Structure 1
Amino acid sequence: MRLPIDHFVILVPDLEAAGAAFEAAGFHVTPQTRHSAAMGTANRCVMLQGSSYIEIMGIVAETPANATWRRLLAEGAGIRGVALRSIDVDVSASKLAALGIAVEPVRHFSRMTEYGVLRFSIARIDPSATPGLQCLVCQHHTADLLWRSETMTHANGARSLTSVMLPQASSLSAFPMDESGHGIAVAAGAGKLSFSGSHAQHHDLRSVCGVEIEVVAT
């Protein structure tokens, strides 16, 4: 079993401010949408070529389902989640369990967008296994509504995510991730996202989002 990286979650206290900061850095950021009421969360996304993306997420209502997210947010904004992609989340959850990695029951949820209802299934990995992070396995049922050409075009020329540095990188060592498919390297360090793009640039979003952004000319 190999699980490619699907997306990273940047958890923030002010979703509108965080989205505006990414927009000021030249990214196309999708409009705010809310997940199912039970989830109590909302997001804005930076969609990328190569089937990956950045999810900027905030909490809009306290629910049992977002208890871990709230605990992580109390530690500060930043890269707090890693989603691994699966074509069958039930099978992947079973295989992870067989490897001794505790996985919560599969959840099915959705969020409404201007293009229609996005539907997902996820299985969260026990957060005790990944200190400082919430990791999960994600299956997209409506990928065509999420990756759209207009949302993957960014004014700053960014095309794809190439590397991520985060303090909790060692928490991922137990997982069978396949990073080669999208060329994403994960390493230990302060929160930083690097993208391939048309020209080099740097954006410091630490005060709002807890991360730095680097676009490397390729």
Structure 2
Amino acid sequence: MLQTVEQETGASPQWAVIWLHGLGADGNDFAPIVPELVRPGWPALRFVFPHAPVRPITINNGVPMRGWYDIVGMDFRSRADMDGVRDSVGELDALIQREIDRGIPAERIFLAGFSQGGAVILTAALQRSAPLAGLIALSTYLPEAETATRIDGAVQVPVFMAHGTQDPVIPLQVAEHTAATLRTLGVEVQWQSYPMAHQVCGEEISALADWLQTRLQAG
């Protein structure tokens, strides 16, 4: 199983957030966001930040770095190594099962991902027949969106999706196409855009906290 960085906001967590970082980062990348995101009165949450494996990345001249899959080209219709994506979905499934084994039911587990990490959680969600609390897809896209389908019996999982209007890594139009594709597939998507590059911003964190609070209260 992947090594992880973990933070718990209280004793005996009732909810979990499994958060996948972007290319070249590691599990420590988004750990500092926890105190900015979590609000008083929320139930205890366990944040799990896994480290992606180190692998050669083709578009970076084969230099090894942490990544959830190889990026083989610039065309978003075919840039993702789908074997690598599927391997990472399997690793994610193992992390979900570990949280279930630790007493947190699947319907109280959120999946979050930035950039590459978001591509993995979106792919995983279309293949799941078991419930989840929701998806948090930040500055990301769905690989092979033109041919994406949901498996028979796939459950409805709400998605918070946010993107920068000035993102030079994943253009806004690519992310908008992903949101439209997900809606066509019957996924509930809350879309947000912000005047930023390939990053997160305070306004985005606040909107995400609102979205999470609604689901925590409903749960």
Higher RCO structure (Cα 8 Å, ≥6 apart):
1
- TM-score w.r.t. the length of structure 1 is 0.31
The structure that is strand-richer by fraction is 1
- TM-score w.r.t. the length of structure 2 is 0.31
The structure that is helix-richer by fraction is 2
